[in-house]
């Protein structure tokens, strides 16, 4: 079993690290140029810096391809890998449009013995998994409301630039497509609810940005005072968004996303309220789960395997008082994927996000854009 990773920016090396922690061999990596591939392979201690994607497809040692390239490449790269008989783990969003994701879902259904996963790693915080088990077992009763946000500040200034800013590379939605999809996938996973209707409002505050004449990796712009040489580019993707949801059980929801919220580095939270109690969690305190009650004192559950649901135990590795965070979610997601692959029974339910899940989030993105443009509620 050997893996190739596509993408040398922020998230590609995160995949490499997580796979190595599970003793899964990562043979090589592909960047946007042979020079970047070679440089990244050397810095990560990998055997191969691939010169092209075709080289990965021809490499018989490679069983699994992890795709962390810009969104516009996902359709072609995922299709080619599945066509070559290789398993795929693709970063979110799965593709640029539902036309593309529908094609990928159909492709994966024709190849049921190939893994077709989407990298929604946030599902795998241990206390998030515990919250899900609480809801499944009825401890919160009937779910009434779901609220929360995903907010960052790494695109606050007009000197902040990344390929996601331009629709041709990242898609028509940026804040919603990049981080909002995480929130929507996470809350849907935890509650088991499906969105039936929504209404959205989006805003672009920084309508022109200074695009450096050279490459910029995700988040690295915060280390400089701005590019010395740049081109002004018009921005037509959103910095901010708010969405109201109606769910299939009659519950209501609200999500706020922003990449221009000063001081919020990578803050995701949810609060889920039911007829018997509530739970709340946020990514800046990822080992704590707040439990709210009407008729007794509220509680805070600190991540501790001895206190958590038995179904969570395979995805937590350290005892109470020993924190598990962002890198660990990748490890646990890949534990689920590669454990399923090793077991070899592809008829069993998949314990990881699939291309079908990725399609659902892109569909919600398109409905959010439709709602914003039409200033109306839309059905899913």
Check pLDDT > 90 for residue 13: yes
Name the residue among 305, 311, 273, 314 with its Cα closest to residue 287.
305
Beta bridge mates, 332: none
Give the model confidence (pLDDT) of 53-95 as tens digits: 999 999 999 999 999 999 999 999 999 999 999 999 999 999 9
Which architecture, in CATH terms, is 2-121? 3-Layer(aba) Sandwich (3.40)
80: tokens are 């080619």
DSSP 217-236: -TTGGGGSS--SSEEEEE--
With cut-offs at 50, 70 and 90, classify the pLDDT of residue 123. Answer: very high
CA–CA distance, 50 with 61 (Å, rounded to integer): 13
- Per-residue pLDDT band for 339 (boundaries 50, 70, 90) equals very high
- Model pLDDT, residue 227: 64
Element (H, E) at 69: none
The residue-averaged pLDDT of 89-103 equals 97
Structure confidence at residue 213 as a pLDDT band (50, 70, 90) = confident
* Residues written for the chain: 380
pLDDT tops 90 at residue 217: no
Query: At residue 223, does pLDDT exceed 70?
Result: no
Q: How confident is the model at residue 218 (pLDDT cuts 50, 70, 90)?
A: low
Mean pLDDT over residues 238-261, rounded?
98
Name the helix (H) or strand (E) containing 35. Answer: helix 34-44
Say how far apart CA 8 and CA 36 lie, in whole Å. 7
Residue pair 8/29 in contact by the 8 Å Cβ criterion: yes
**pLDDT of residue 19 exceeding 80:** yes
Q: What pLDDT shows up at residue 192?
A: 98
Residue 224 has pLDDT above 90, yes or no: no
Instruction: Taking residues 128-140, report their average pLDDT.
Output: 98
Q: What is the DSSP string of 164-198?
A: GGSHHHH-S-SHIIIIIHHHHHHHHHHH---EEEE
Both tokens assigned to 69: 């390239």
Query: How far is residue 323's CA from residue 305's CA, in Å, rounded to a whole number?
Result: 12
Query: Please, are residues 210 and 161 in contact by the beta-carbon 8 Å criterion?
Result: yes
Give the per-residue pLDDT at 215: 66
Instruction: Write the DSSP assignment of 240-307 as a string of letters.
Output: EEEEEEEETTS-EEEEEEES--TT-SSEEEEEEEESS-EEEEETTSTTEEEEE-SSS--EEEEP-GGG
- For the chain, the domains span 2-121, 125-351+359-373
Q: Which helix (H) or strand (E) covers residue 49, if one does?
A: strand 48-50
**Residue 327 pLDDT > 70:** yes
pLDDT given at position 228? 76
CATH class of the structural domain 125-351+359-373: alpha beta
Report the percent of the chain where pLDDT is more than 90. 95
Which residues, 6 or more positions from 264, have their beta carbon under 8 angstroms from its beta carbon?
Answer: 151, 152, 153, 258
Question: Does residue 17 have a pLDDT over 60?
Answer: yes
Given a contact cutoff of 8 angstroms between Cβ atoms, the answer to whether 217 and 70 are in contact is no
Higher local confidence (pLDDT), 216 or 15:
15
pLDDT at residue 93, as a whole number: 95
Provide the whole-model pTM.
0.94
Task: Using alpha carbons, select from 50, 52, 114, 40 the residue that is nearest to residue 81.
Answer: 114
Average pLDDT, the chain: 96
- Beta-carbon contacts of 140 under 8 Å, excluding residues fewer than 6 positions away, are 134, 272, 273, 274, 275, 276, 277, 278, 279
Q: How confident is the model at residue 280 (pLDDT cuts 50, 70, 90)?
A: very high
In order, the DSSP letters of 85-141 are T-EEEEPSSS-SSHHHHHHHHHHHHH-TTS-EEE--GGGG-HHHHHHHHHHHTTTT-
């Amino acid at each position: 079993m050997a893996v190739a990773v596509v993408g040398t920016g922020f998230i590609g090396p995160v995949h490499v690290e997580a796979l190595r922690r599970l003793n899964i061999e990562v043979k090589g990596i592909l960047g946007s140029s042979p020079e970047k591939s070679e440089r990244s392979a050397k810095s990560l201690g990998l055997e191969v810096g691939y010169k092209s994607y075709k080289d990965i497809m021809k490499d018989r040692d490679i069983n699994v391809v992890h795709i962390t390239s810009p969104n516009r490449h996902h359709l072609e790269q995922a299709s080619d890998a599945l066509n070559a008989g290789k398993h795929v783990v693709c970063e979110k969003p799965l593709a640029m449009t539902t036309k593309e994701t529908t094609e990928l879902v159909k492709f994966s259904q024709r190849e049921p013995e190939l893994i077709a996963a989407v990298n929604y790693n946030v599902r795998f915080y241990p206390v998030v998994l515990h919250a899900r088990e609480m809801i499944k077992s009825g401890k919160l009763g009937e779910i009434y409301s779901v609220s929360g946000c995903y907010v960052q500040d790494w695109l606050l200034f007009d000197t902040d630039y990344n390929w996601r800013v331009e629709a041709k590379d990242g898609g028509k939605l940026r804040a919603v497509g990049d981080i909002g999809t995480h929130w929507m996938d996470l809350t849907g996973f935890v509650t088991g609810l499906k969105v039936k209707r929504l209404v959205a409002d989006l805003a672009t505050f920084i309508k022109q940005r200074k695009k450096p004449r050279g490459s910029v990796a995700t988040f690295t712009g915060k280390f400089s005072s701005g590019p010395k040489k740049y081109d002004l580019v018009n921005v037509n993707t959103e910095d901010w968004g708010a969405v109201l949801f109606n769910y299939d059980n009659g519950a209501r929801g609200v999500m706020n996303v922003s990449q221009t919220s000063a001081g919020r580095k990578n803050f995701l939270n949810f609060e889920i309220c039911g007829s018997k109690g509530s739970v709340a969690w946020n990514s800046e305190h990822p080992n704590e789960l707040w439990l709210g009650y009407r008729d007794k004192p509220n509680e805070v559950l600190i991540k501790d395997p001895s206190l958590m649901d038995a179904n969570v135990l395979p995805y937590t590795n350290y005892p109470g008082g020993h924190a598990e965070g962002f890198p660990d979610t990748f490890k646990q997601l890949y534990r689920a994927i590669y454990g399923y692959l090793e077991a070899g029974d592809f008829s069993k339910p998949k314990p990881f996000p699939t291309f079908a899940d990725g399609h659902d989030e892109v569909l919600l993105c398109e409905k959010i854009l439709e709602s914003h443009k039409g200033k109306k509620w839309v059905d899913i």
